[in-house]
A and B are shown apart, each in its own frame.
Chain A
Amino acid sequence: DAGITQSPRHKVTETGTPVTLRCHQTENHRYMYWYRQDPGHGLRLIHYSYGVKDTDKGEVSDGYSVSRSKTEDFLLTLESATSSQTSVYFCAISEEGRGHPNYGYTFGSGTRLTVV
């Protein structure tokens, strides 16, 4: 999607290894989010950021950490990958925060992560 890029698009990793996924935006949006998508669960929020170095946990944050040292980059790290973290990971950005009448997300194309 225009303005937001996720890398890598696909990754296979072994159990116990650390993995970092990158989300890069060129829209200068303040808010950034990491979701995971699994069959039957929809999208579940992992972590989000409301500014540089300002992050908070979502509903499924265990085993994940994030960092945002620049407005344009939001990194998601799996400290020690497990098979339960096999999923499709989506990054999203938003210009406005929750509650704003024009609040809406722009999503990246996703990273398909397989932990073997």
Chain B
Amino acid sequence: SQQGEEDPQALSIQEGENATMNCSYKTSINNLQWYRQNSGRGLVHLILIRSNEREKHSGRLRVTLDTSKKSSSLLITASRAADTASYFCATDTNDYKLSFGAGTTVTVRA
């Protein structure tokens, strides 16, 4: 079963707007990661946030983590057409793997 669940499943925004997506998970984690996947390509690692961190920034990306609610959010500011992709959260728990959610598909309209 999937550890992480993204919400919403799909998101359509205008270029220049912000995009926010959420990830909820079930068990305690060591860290949580976000990945991007462009159509027909592999996943690309975006950002990692540790369980003792609450917020992290990388360029136009902002990630928050609330371990009490077992949730994370990814904010993409000032979106561009190139941000059109699927975004996945992945959780690193105390077993042997990263567990991925089903993803949020983001479409940025020109």
Contacting pair A106 B103 (CB below 8 A): no
How would residues 90 to 105 of chain B score, 1 for a CB under 8 Å from any chain A CB and 0 otherwise? 1010111111111100
Contacting pair A56 B92 (CB below 8 A): no
Does any Cβ of B come within 8 Å of A84's Cβ?
Answer: no
Contacting pair B97 A104 (CB below 8 A): no
Does any Cβ of A come within 8 Å of B31's Cβ?
Answer: yes
List residues of B whose CB falls within 8 A of some A CB. Answer: 2, 4, 30-31, 33, 35, 40-45, 48, 50, 88, 90, 92, 94-103
Task: Given the known inter-chain contacts A98-B92, A99-B92, please indicate yes or no for A109 contacting B33, CB distance below 8 A.
Answer: no
Chain B residues with CB under 8 Å of A41's CB are 2, 102
Contacting pair A48 B30 (CB below 8 A): no
Bound: A102/B98 CA distance, A = 13
Bound: A56/B97 CA distance, A = 11
Interface of A is mostly: loop
Known: A45-B97, A45-B98, A103-B92. 12 other contacts (CB 8 A): A35-B100, A42-B100, A42-B101, A43-B88, A58-B97, A90-B43, A92-B42, A99-B30, A103-B31, A104-B33, A105-B43, A108-B42
Contacting pair B48 A103 (CB below 8 A): yes
Indicate the member of B35, B99, B100 with the most A CB atoms within 10 Å: B100
User: Considering only CB atoms and an 8 Å cut-off, how many residues of chain A contact the other chain?
Assistant: 27
Contacting pair A48 B48 (CB below 8 A): no
Q: Which chain A residues (65-90) contact chain B, with CB distance < 8 Å?
A: 90
A110 CB to nearest chain B CB (Å): 6
Chain A residues with CB under 8 Å of B90's CB are 105
Contacting pair A1 B42 (CB below 8 A): yes
